[in-house]
Each structure stands twice: as structure tokens, then as C-alpha cells.
Structure 1
Amino acid sequence: MDLQAWFNLLVKQIVATSWLEWFSVSFGVAEVLLARKNKVALYPVGIVSILTASFLLVEAKLYAETVLNLYYLVMSVYGWAMWKSKAQSGASEVSRSTSKEKYITFSIALFGWLFLFLVLKHFTDSDVPIMDAFVSSTAWAGMWLLAKRKLENWIWLNVSNLVAIPLLFHKNLALFALLTLFLFIVAIFGYLDWRKALLAKEEEKIAPQNILL
């Protein structure tokens, strides 16, 4: 497809976009901007986006992503509680994943992909089981890390976004595809912002030791 044909198709899809998709996308944009700023408000805003997006994903037969949204809902409640209870959760500050957390993250992505693929392949009429399962499983891993305020959450979420963009466009969900592209870009800056904050915190811990020496 040439660029002009792609643009014409995109415009046609956007014009035909439902008000529910516009509404869901707006809250999705707000959610990722709040996440970049490390604000706990990302969770209630995200819950609104999750609930509205679920209806659209079912209609598009993206069943794994619908299940992903249910997982998002659970993790949003979990993350909201974690971020609000800073002293008890240990999630008050951005940190790097431990070796154990990295192992858990890879396990969530790998086994989640296999499980979702088998379910989609044998129990649904999905026509994109491999990609749909991959998008969901890697996003599962990213959301788990986000709830724990781990820097690497941005990497996993962007792996998911990178595959989700063409998948959503293929399913004629133009605004969701554009939103995911936006999320991909913001996630890059989110990673850089969180990394900067983390390095600053690490330097603060090193500074007193240098003074003592």
C-alpha cells in the first residue's frame, strides 16, 4: 500500500470512529502522561479507559487483548493500592528490577504468550492468535513491573506497543493504533525520565559515602 492510499484509509477510519473509542482514547492518553510523571492518578484514569476499551476489543475479536484489559483492571487496582501505601509496599520510589523480578517478568511474558496462543488457536475464532497473544503477554509483564515502580516496565510495554500498532491498524481500530503509537513515543520519554530520577537517587546515596571517605 502506498503512502497516499494509507493516508486515505486512515482518514476514513478516523471519520468512522465511534464516540466510545474517542472517549477511551482520551483517557488512555491522560493515563500514560500521568504515568510518565510518576503520578498515582494514572490508575483511576486508566480504569475508565480500560472499561470502555474492553467493549470495542470484543467487537474486533481481539480476545487476548480483552483478557489483557481485565488483567490491566486487576493490576490497576493492585498498583493503585501499592502506590498509595508507600511505606508498606516498598514502591514509593523508582527502582531497578532485581534478578528474581527479571525472572518473573520473563516467565510472565513467555508462558503468558504460550497460554494465550493455545487458547486463541483452539477455543476462539481469532485470526491473529500469535500477534494478539504476544501483545498481551508482554504487556502483562510490563504492567506487573509498573505496579512495582520498576524502570524496566517501559521496555516491556514498548515491546508490546511495537507489535500492537500494526495489529490494531489491521483491525481497523485507527484511533487505538494512533494511541498506541503515541504511547510508544511517550514510553521512551517515560523511561528516560524515570532513569534520570533513579540515577539522581543513586547519586544521593553515594555522595554521603564519598564525604565520609
Structure 2
Amino acid sequence: MLDLLTRLLNAQLDLGFGAPVLWREIIGNGFGLASALLGARRRVWAWPIGIAGNIILFTVFLGGVFNTPQNLDLWGQAGRQVFFLVTSVYGWVLWARYRHTHRDQGGVAVEPRWAGARGRLQLLAMAVVGFVVFYLALDALGSWGPAADAWILTGSILATYGMARGWTEFWLIWLAVDLVGVPLLLVAGFYPSAIMYAIYGAFVIWGFTQWVKVQRGAAASSVAVAGGVDPRP
């Protein structure tokens, strides 16, 4: 059984890029994309599925430690999986609580809203402090591309936190992460992850429009109710 598990974890696929890729990199990113799709639909399952992907990808990005084909340690990419896991538990609890108290809303687990001035200042402060701290830490660890890695790590944490809070701006933070993440991963040879980032970038734009549409619908309903008009068809 242990031998079979080892072989599954080390299974590789040759895509003709000059170096094989691990199946678990593909599978881990598949979990990540599924989590994003469920997040756009505001379903609680987005969190546990995302956590499963985080655990798998943690082993992928520590290539020097786990002897992956790339043999590179992207400590920021690996570290963000840990932060994802912690933040995802927080988001899971918030969304599950919302769904439990709003059972009449068809199973959705969060109400999209803008972060507002206070929330945006909070995100900005966290971004500055996070980038500086993570850059110094990743550079000391010998991470490959510490500045880009710190950008991705900081943005990923903020985006996940924003998603947990139901702040629509989290989609835009993800877009900023993708703009740096795609070229970094291509150069490093993590091709499935780079492709997933590119696909995710297009999906992020769609997810953003969906959350904005939900917000506008909720605002229109509130105005109608305030004016004494039944918003239901």
C-alpha cells in the first residue's frame, strides 16, 4: 500500500516542455479551480476542496525538498498553501454560519459587498507589511524569485481573507496575483500551475462580474422594499 501511494505521488507526465510534470501538480490545481468555481457560486464546499488542493500543492512547490522534476524551492508558493489552509478554515466557519442562518437563500453562503474605505485601508496596510515581511523571509530562505514570490504570497492571503469576508474586491486582488504568477511559474517550469493561473485570470474577471451582479440585484431589491414595492416577479 505504501509503495502504491509513493508511486501515485511521484507519477509524472511528459508534456514536451523539456521536463516532466507531476500528476499531483495537475490534480492540486484542479482542486484549486474547482474551489474557485464554487466560490463564485458562493458555496461552502469551496473551502474544504480548496484545502485539499493546498495540501497537495505544498509538496509540489518545495521541489528541492520533495525531489520534484523542477528541483526548485518556491518557499512563497509553498508557504501560501499553509496560509491558505488557515484562512480557509476561517472562511469555512464564516460561510457555514451564514448559510445556517440564511437557509431561505438557496444554499448560498455569503452576501457579496464592497469592503468600504475602512476595509480597503485594512487590505492596503496588510499588503505593505506582508510584502516587506515575506520578501525578507523568503530572501533569507533562498526562495527562487523572492520579490515575485512575496507578491504572490501576500496577494493570495489577502484575496482569501477578502473572500472569507465576502468582499468583492478579492477578485481584483487575485487578478494582480495572476499577472505576476503566470510569468514566474512559466520561467520556473511549473507549467500546469502557470496554465491554471492563466485560466484562473480569465475566470476571475467572470467571477468579479457575477458578484457585482449579485450586489446590484440585492441593492435593487432593498430599494424596492424600502419603497413599498414587492421585488418578486
TM over 0.5: yes
Aligned CA RMSD, in angstroms, stands at 2.1
Candidates 44, 49, 58, aligned match of 1:54: 58
CA separation in 2, counterparts of 1:93 and 1:32? 16
Secondary structure of the residue aligned to 2:114 is coil
- Aligned: 1:194 with 2:194: no
TM-score normalised by structure 2 residue count: 0.81
Q: State the identity as a percent.
A: 22
Verify the 8 A CA contact 1:14 1:174 in the aligned structure 2. no
Large movers: runs of 4+ above 3 Å: 87-92
Q: Is residue 112 of structure 1 aligned with residue 124 of structure 2?
A: no
**63, 74, 87: which one aligns with 2:75:** 63
Q: Does 1:17 align with 2:35?
A: no
1:19-46 residue CA offsets vs partner (Å, 9 max, x unmatched): 2112112212211111111111111110
- 1:167 and 2:193 matched: no
CA deviations over 1:3-23 (Å, ceiling 9, x no partner): xxxxxxx94239822121121
Whether the 8 Å contact between 2:127 and 2:154 is mirrored in structure 1 is yes
2:194 maps to 1:180: no
Q: Give matches, 1:202-213, under 5 Å.
A: 202-211=219-228
For residue 153 of structure 1, report the CA deviation from its aligned partner. Answer: 0.6
**Secondary structure at 1:12 match in 2:** coil
Residues 63-82 of structure 1: pairs in structure 2 closer than 5 A: 63-82=75-94
Letter in 2 for 1:106: L
Summarize the Cα distance change of 1:113–1:88 in structure 2 as closer, same or farther, 3 Å threshold: farther
Partner of 1:131: 148
- Point out the more displaced range, 91-100 or 10-19: 10-19
- Counterpart of 1:40, as a letter, is V
Question: Structure 1 length normalisation: TM-score?
Answer: 0.88
Alpha-carbon spacing, 1:14–1:100, altered in 2? closer, same or farther (3 Å): farther
- Tell me, yes or no, if the aligned pair for 1:24 and 1:48 is still in contact at 8 Å: yes
Report 1 or 2 for greater relative contact order, CA contacts < 8 Å, sequence distance ≥ 6. 1
- Once the 2 structures are TM-superposed, how far is the Cα of residue 88 of structure 1 from its aligned partner? 9.2
Q: Larger helix proportion, structure 1 or 2?
A: 1
Quick one: distance in 2 between partners of 1:103 and 1:186? 26
1:189 aligned counterpart, secondary structure: helix
2-structure distance, mates of 1:21, 1:92 = 30
Structure 2 stretches of 5 or more lacking a match? 1-13, 64-71, 103-108
Separation (CA, whole Å) in 2 of partners of 1:196 and 1:162:
24
CA separation in 1, counterparts of 2:31 and 2:19?
19
Q: Report whether the alignment pairs 1:155 with 2:159.
A: no
User: 2-side partners of 1:94 and 1:84: how far apart?
Assistant: 15
Aligned to 1:97: 115
Q: Which amino acid aligns with 2:74?
A: L
Distance, in Å, in 2 between the alignment partners of 1:22 and 1:188 is: 22
> Contact 2:42/2:110 (CA < 8 Å) preserved in 1?
no
Distance 1:104 1:14, change over 3 A: farther
Counterpart CA distance in 2 for 1:48 and 1:16 is 23
Mapped to 1, the partners of 2:110 and 2:52 lie a distance apart of 24
Consecutive unaligned residues of structure 1, counting only runs of 5 or more, are 1-9
